[in-house]
Structure 1
Amino acid sequence: MLWPMLALALAVTGIAVLAVPAVRVFVEVRRLARQVAESSRRITRAAEDLERATAPLGGQVDALRRGHGHDVRQDRLPTDVRD
């Protein structure tokens, strides 16, 4: 009867020893997942900001390609320099 009890005690101890690192890994994976989600939100927000910032420029470039626009650089010069 001693050997089966010893085997059972060792099995329970082994499961407990393995459970501690498993819980730690679980906690770290959840923390990493939160960081990845936050980084993804930041990247998405930055991409949207970049898209909004480049939209006016894209329209000007499109007009220049079609030949309907004028020199975009002249719009930024003071009036006394343009003449």
Structure 2
Amino acid sequence: MLWPMFFLALAFCGLTVLGVLAVRVGLEVRRFSRAVGDSSERITRAAENLERAAVPLAARTGGATDSGGTQGPNET
């Protein structure tokens, strides 16, 4: 009777450890997803700022879209 009780207690301890680890993983996943969301918002804001800053620069350069260095049909 001693061995079955020992194995039952050992199984209970194993399940308890697995449960604690599952809770810790869940908390870390929640924290990681929050950090990813914050980073996504910061990247979106930075892209919007970059787009706003690029508009005056494009207007100042005349809106040139040819970046290959070749001349168009009207340019000599």
Runs of 4+ in 1 over 3 A off after TM superposition: none
> 2:39 and 2:24 mapped to 1: Cα distance?
22
Corresponding position of 1:14? 17
Percent identity between the aligned chains?
A: 19
Tell me how far apart the structure 2 counterparts of residues 32 and 16 of structure 1 sit (CA, whole Å): 25
- Please list every run of 5 or more consecutive structure 2 residues that lacks an aligned counterpart in the other structure: 63-76
Distance 1:14 1:56 in 2: 63
2:38 — aligned with what? 35
Query: Unpaired runs of 5+ in structure 1?
Result: 60-83
Q: Which structure exhibits the higher relative contact order, with contacts defined as CA atoms closer than 8 Å and separated by 6 or more residues?
A: 1
Query: 2:27 — aligned with what?
Result: 24
CA RMSD of aligned residues (A): 1.0
What residue number does 2:51 align with?
48
TM-score, length-scaled by structure 1: 0.66
| Structure label with greater radius of gyration | 1
